[in-house]
Amino acid sequence: MRILITGAEGMLGRDVQRAAEQAGHETTPLARAQLDVTDADAAVAAVGAAAPDVVINCAAWTDVDGAESRAREATAVNGAGAGNVAAAADAAGAWIVHVSTDYVFDGEKSSAYVESDPPSPVSAYGRSKLDGELAVAAAASERHTIVRTAWLFGAGGKCFPKTILRAASQRPELTVVSDQIGCPTFTGHLAKALVALAQQRTLGVLHVAGLGQCSWYEFAAAIVDAAGSDCPVRPISSDDYPTPTRRPANSVLISERGALTLPEWRAGLEQFISELAEVRA
C-alpha cells in the first residue's frame, strides 16, 4: 500500500512514517516545507504526483493557547487545510485518515465521550479542529476516517512529559492541575493504529486514545516516577493555573464503534521513557 503522510516532520508524523515502513508499506512523507496544506492547488499537485492509496493527515496547528489570539491562522491549517488535503485525496481516488482531537467537546459530560456525542468546542483550537472534521467529511464523503485522539506525547517532539521532566530537573517542586482528566496517548501506539485504519478504511469518526484515564497531576507524577526523579508533585486546581484557553475538564474518549484499542497509557509512558533515553544516548 502507498501511504502519503502530511506533517511528516511532526511528532506524530514521524512515528506514522516509521510504523508504515515497518508494516511494509511504501511512504511519501511530506513536511510543511514540502506541502503547505493551506494551499489547495499545492495539495492537489502533491497528492496527484504521489498517487497514494491512502493519505494520513498529520499536518496541524498544535499551539492550543496560540490559537486563541491567532484563530484565523489556526483555522486555515486545521480547518480549510484539512479540507484541502481531503479534497486532494478524493480527487486522486485515495482514502484519507484525518487526525482530530478531544477538544471538539466542551468537557462537561460526566462520563467518557463516544463518537455519537455532539461536539461543542469551547476554544479556538477546538473550533478549528471541528471545522477540519466537517471539511474532511464534506470533501471526501465516501472515503474518510476521522480519528479523534487525546493528550498526545512522543519522543519526537514537544510534549507534556518532556516539559515535566525538564521542570523536575530545574525546580524543587512541581504543581500540576488535578481537575482535568483525559487519556494520555503515546504517538508510537497511535501511529500503528492509524496505519491499521488506513487498511481497514472504516467510514466516519472513530475515537482512538490510550487505554485508561488520569488527571494531568496523576500523569505528571507517573512521569516523574518513571524517570526515577525524586521531585515532589503537588496537585492544584485549574483556577490556580489560568491559561488563555479554556480546556475541557473531561477529555476521556472511548469508542462505541469498536475502534482499535491502544495499550494502556502507562505502557506508552514506559516506551516513551525508553525511546527518550535512546535519543539522548
d(CA 177, CA 181): 9
Name the pairing type of β-strands 95-101 and 144-149: parallel
Q: Do residues 8 and 31 touch, judged by C-beta distance below 8 A?
A: yes
Task: DSSP for 83-138, please give it.
Answer: HHHHHHHHHTT-EEEEEEEGGGS-S--SS-B-TTSPP---SHHHHHHHHHHHHHHH
- Which domains does the chain carry? 2-152+185-209+252-258 (3.40.50.720)
d(CA 146, CA 133): 7
- Residue 278: the pLDDT is 74
- Residue 277: the pLDDT is 80
pTM value? 0.96
Report the chain's terminal Cα–Cα distance, integer Å.
Answer: 34
Name the pairing type of β-strands 174-177 and 95-101: unpaired
Cell of 31: 513536511
229-to-71, 90, 166, 265, 269 alpha-carbon distances in Å: 38, 49, 11, 19, 15
Q: Do residues 260 and 197 touch, judged by C-beta distance below 8 A?
A: yes
Give catalytic residues, as residue numbers.
125
d(CA 254, CA 127): 21
- Residue 281: the pLDDT is 52
Helix (H) or strand (E) holding 186: strand 185-186
d(CA 228, CA 280): 16
**pLDDT digit of tens for each residue in the chain (281 aa)?**
999 999 999 999 999 999 999 999 999 999 999 999 999 999 999 999 999 999 999 999 999 999 999 999 999 999 999 999 999 999 999 999 999 999 999 999 999 999 999 999 999 999 999 999 999 999 999 999 999 999 999 999 999 999 999 999 999 999 999 999 999 999 999 999 999 999 999 999 999 999 999 999 999 999 999 999 999 999 999 999 989 999 999 999 999 999 999 999 999 999 999 998 876 65
Residue environment code for 71-102, b if the CB has 16+ CB neighbours within 10 A, otherwise e: beebbbbbbbbbbbbbbbbbebebbbbbbbbb
d(CA 138, CA 82): 11
* Count of CB atoms situated within 10 Å of the CB of 195: 26
